Amino acid sequence: MAALVVGGTSDPVPLEIARSARARRRGLLGRDDIEGALLLSPASAVHTLGMRFAVDVAYVDRTSRVLAVRTMRPGRIGLPRLRARHVLEARAGMLERWGIRPGTRLTVAGDG
C-alpha cells in the first residue's frame, strides 16, 4: 500500500490509489469507513451518491498542490475543478487533522 506524505510531516497517511476507470467509479461506494485516504487519478470531480458517510475531498493539480478542500455529505454532486488532475477522499474531518488545506503539497510514497 502507498502512503501519503503531507508537506514536511513525518507521519505518512495510508493511501489507496484508484487508477482504473472502474476503481474510480467505485471509489468509496459500499464502504462503511476508510483507514487513511483514497486518491482518484485522474479525476476532477466526485459525487457522494450512495455513500454511507460524509467525506472530505481535496482537489489536487498536476504539481500535487491542493487547490480546494470541501466536505461532502452523502447524496451530493461536486462541481468539477478545471485545474484538478487528482481528487483525494477521506472520512470527514481527516484532511484538517492531517493539515491538508489549499496550497499544501502532497507526495505519494511507496507507490509500487
pLDDT tens-place string over residues 14-50: 999 998 999 888 888 888 889 999 999 999 999 999 9
Is pLDDT of 97 > 60? Answer: yes
For the segment 48-61, the average pLDDT, to the nearest whole number, is: 95
Tally of CA atoms within 13 A in the half-sphere of 83 that contains its CB: 9
2-109 folds as Jelly Rolls (2.60.120)
- Measured from the Cβ of residue 95, the count of other Cβ atoms closer than 10 Å reads 25
With beta carbons less than 8 A apart as the criterion, state whether 55 and 36 touch: no
pTM: 0.92
